[in-house]
Amino acid sequence: MLSQQQSGPQRGEPLAEGVAKDFSLMIDGAESALGLSEVMVPVPQRGNQSWRLLLITLLSCFAASGAALGAFFWLINLPPTANCDNPASVTTDRAQLFCAQVAAESGELPDVLTALDLAGSWTTGHPLYYEVQPLVEQWSWVVLKAAEQELRNNGSMEQAQALVSHIPVESPVFATAQETMQTWQGEWEQGEAIMAKAQTALKQKDWATASQQVLALGELKNSHWREAQVQALSRQIRLERRAQELLSEAVATAVPGGSDRLGAALRTASQIDESTYTRQQVQPYLDRWSDLLLKLGQDKWYASELDTAIALGRSAALNPSRAKVAQELIWISQARQMAQKSLTTWRTSPDQLVTLYQAMLLANRLPADSPYYPQAQSSVMSWRNHMGELARLQTAQAIGQVRTKATLKSAIGQAAQVPLGHPRRVQAQTLVAHWRQEIERIEDRPQLVKAHELANAKTFESLQEAIQTASGIALHRALRSEAQSWIYIWTSEIQVMEDRPLLNRARSLAQRGQLSQAIVEASGIKPGRALYGEARGAIAGWQGEIAAAEQARLRAIERAAARQAEALTPEEAAPAEETPAEASLENAATSPLEEGLPMAPAPVNSDLRWPQSPLPDRIDTVPGAAAPAEAGVPGLPRSPQPLSAPAAEPTPVDIAPAPLPAAIPPPVLVAPSAPPPQPLELVPDPAAAPAREPQAKQPVAPVISAQPQPEYLARAPIGASQAANPNTDVLFAGALYAGH
């Protein structure tokens, strides 16, 4: 039982602190008693209790409002986005659907198929089944269109069937997809049958049947067969026909045989497309032609015709089945070319060692099963021996570069050790010959230098001594050719010293107007002399001046004759009858000279008076002294002294030639060969002319020509009988002069 003990104020007394300090709770049977203040919480005062209740109420309201607001936002917001990049976080079906939908929005076919497979696996009892049905229908259409595009573009029925199989049975598009697939399958089988028939026709070269199948494919509804396969079959027909033409051309080219024709046949046949049936037919031809070229290339390799061997190997490489062997032939030929390149120069160099080493490396590339492996290994062993002797020659060449007699002899001894029959033997002998010539140059150079020192004085005696000194270099010596060149130069200088005064005197005579004497003086320079060309040039110039003067004189005579003819009375100018021979002679007299005067003007028609006396033995058109005897033609009698023309006035004669009668020309007259006459003085002294000899109004002289002359002209000279002297010596001033 509880008992209370009051040890404080009594009932009715106020409690200062709310609870008596001496109030205690007694428990019966207990050894101790607890105070009530320790058991019961003190009752707060009335004012503090109201504030606490208000605070608790407000806190409860705030908590309920927050919970309601959170629930509202949770209801109106989307579920949290799943991390599709982390498969471990995608655990729920909704998360999987969300990730599949996000992936399908990209439009990639694999993502659409994945989403469709996920949604199609859910049955009607799944919570999300009805939610995903619109997506399943949308994705099914995408897959069906992809299958149609695959069939149209790539022509793969298997791939199209695989795509359609992803459409689930519950999809609204499933029935349409199956019906479409059956239609495709029927057209596909029909198209394959047409293509099979076309391929059979192509194998048999039945171009007409193959072309009919192209038309049959064009009637199908499927765009793959109607468009793509029609183009493919048309292209295949063209390739097959072109391949057959190339095969026929290649066979026709190779039939005559020969490496060039076989190579051309291979190049033609290699143009056949690999996808054609003709390629299978042409392969035996390619193998046979390639084997022939490879055999011929090996023979060319043995004959060291390496460029030809390489060309044959490249032609054979056009056949893929022989490309490996052809490349091996090319390698071994190129290696031998490199080895031969080290022998092209007679001097040795480090490059030759490098080239030889590269040739060995290239030959070692041939495998052991190559048909050219034995030749390659034999060449490598020979080239190793070459390298040893090449090193010996390089040592000798290094010694010979010192350019002393002792070192050159040592180099000769080193190079002479190359044995006979070695491929480097020729190169060694060439170096030995070169070094021996160097020794000869060292021995003979002082003698040639001494000759140069003598020739520097530029006198006649010094040049003679220089020539004698240089002539001391014996034949077949290294400096003999150089010495001969200097001897020629010094001899020319001596000739110039001897002939220069003669040419200077000739030029002095020419300056004084004595051109003939100048020509005679310059003609003293004989052919082969140093100044002969210069003298001939001067003579040609003086002869041109003489010819120009003679032409001017003849033109003056023609003008005088023309004026005299105009001054005659009509009776005197009446033309007298003339014989054909006289007209021909006058025409010949007025024609330009063939050799002496090439630029003479055309003859002028005028009346000249000619003597009717017989033709004299000598006609001088220009009065002067008698011509020297040397001017005559050898073998003919010497001409008599010139005859004086009669003093009587000759009868005028019309010099215009009459029309020549048609006559058979006589045989060609060939003038006898004669040595060139001595130069004549073409302008004689007027005082030497006879007093009673008249001047000729028109130069008339028969021209000795090798051309056929009219018969009457050859038989009827003017005023002469048939027994006239045929050896009449005719001299025409200006036509005969020195040098002609």
pLDDT value at position 78?
54
Joined tokens for residue 725:
């002297």
- Asked if 322 contacts 291 with a C-beta cutoff of 8 angstroms, the reply is yes
| Whether the predicted pLDDT of 550 surpasses 60 | yes
Joined tokens for residue 428:
């060694």
Q: Which of 230-234, 289-293, 345-349 is least confident?
A: 345-349
Q: Rounded to an integer, what distance in angstroms lies between the CA atom of residue 715 and that of residue 722?
A: 7
- Asked if 222 contacts 187 with a C-beta cutoff of 8 angstroms, the reply is yes
Mean pLDDT of the chain: 72
At residue 115 the predicted structure's pLDDT band, cuts being 50, 70 and 90, is confident
Half-sphere exposure of 225 (CA within 13 A, CB side): 23
CA angle (491 as vertex; 488, 495 as ends), nearest 5: 135
Q: Give the DSSP letter of residue 320.
A: G
| Whether the predicted pLDDT of 37 surpasses 90 | no
pLDDT value at position 93?
66
Q: How far apart are the first and last CA of the chain?
A: 190
* pTM (predicted TM-score): 0.45
Tell me the pLDDT tens digit for each residue of 172-205.
788 888 888 888 888 888 888 999 999 999 999 9
At residue 63 the predicted structure's pLDDT band, cuts being 50, 70 and 90, is confident
| Whether the predicted pLDDT of 720 surpasses 50 | no
Query: E strand or H helix at 713, and its extent?
Result: helix 711-715
| Whether the predicted pLDDT of 312 surpasses 50 | yes
pLDDT value at position 80?
55
| Whether the predicted pLDDT of 652 surpasses 90 | no
User: How crowded is residue 354: how many other Cβ atoms within 10 Å of its Cβ?
Assistant: 12
pLDDT value at position 156?
74
At residue 47 the predicted structure's pLDDT band, cuts being 50, 70 and 90, is low
| Whether the predicted pLDDT of 726 surpasses 50 | no
pLDDT value at position 569?
57
Sequence letter at residue 669? L
pLDDT value at position 131?
73
pLDDT value at position 539?
95
Tell me the pLDDT tens digit for each residue of 454-498.
999 889 999 999 999 999 999 889 899 999 999 999 999 999 999
pLDDT value at position 43?
52
Tell me the pLDDT tens digit for each residue of 687-710.
333 333 333 333 333 333 333 333
Higher pLDDT, residue 366 or 158: 366
Mean pLDDT of 379-384: 90
pLDDT value at position 288?
94
| Whether the predicted pLDDT of 250 surpasses 50 | yes
pLDDT value at position 334?
95
| Whether the predicted pLDDT of 410 surpasses 60 | yes
Q: Rounded to an integer, what distance in angstroms lies between the CA atom of residue 408 and that of residue 159?
A: 87
pLDDT value at position 141?
86
Mean pLDDT of 402-428: 86
Sequence letter at residue 1? M
22 phi and psi, to 5 degrees? -100, 10
Q: Rounded to an integer, what distance in angstroms lies between the CA atom of residue 706 and that of residue 176?
A: 116
Q: What angle do the packed helices 174-203 and 157-164 form, to 10 degrees?
A: 170
Beta bridge mates, 619: 730
Residue 219 makes CB contacts below 8 A (sequence gap 6+) with 226
| Highest mean pLDDT: which range of 69-73, 543-547, 601-605, 693-697 | 543-547
Share of the chain above pLDDT 70, in %: 66
Joined tokens for residue 632:
């005559």
Pairing of strands 729-731, 618-620: parallel
Higher pLDDT, residue 411 or 684: 411
| Highest mean pLDDT: which range of 101-105, 111-115, 442-446, 674-678 | 442-446
Q: Which of 307-311, 338-342, 558-562 is least confident?
A: 338-342
pLDDT value at position 508?
94
Mean pLDDT of 102-108: 71
Q: Which of 10-24, 107-121, 520-534, 655-669 is least confident?
A: 655-669
Q: Which of 199-208, 465-474, 552-561, 659-668 is least confident?
A: 659-668
Sequence letter at residue 401? Q
> Which SS3 state, helix, strand or coil, does residue 731 take?
strand
| Whether the predicted pLDDT of 605 surpasses 50 | no
Query: E strand or H helix at 510, and its extent?
Result: helix 480-511
Q: Rounded to an integer, what distance in angstroms lies between the CA atom of residue 463 and that of residue 455?
A: 5
731 phi and psi, to 5 degrees? -120, 130
Mean pLDDT of 84-92: 58
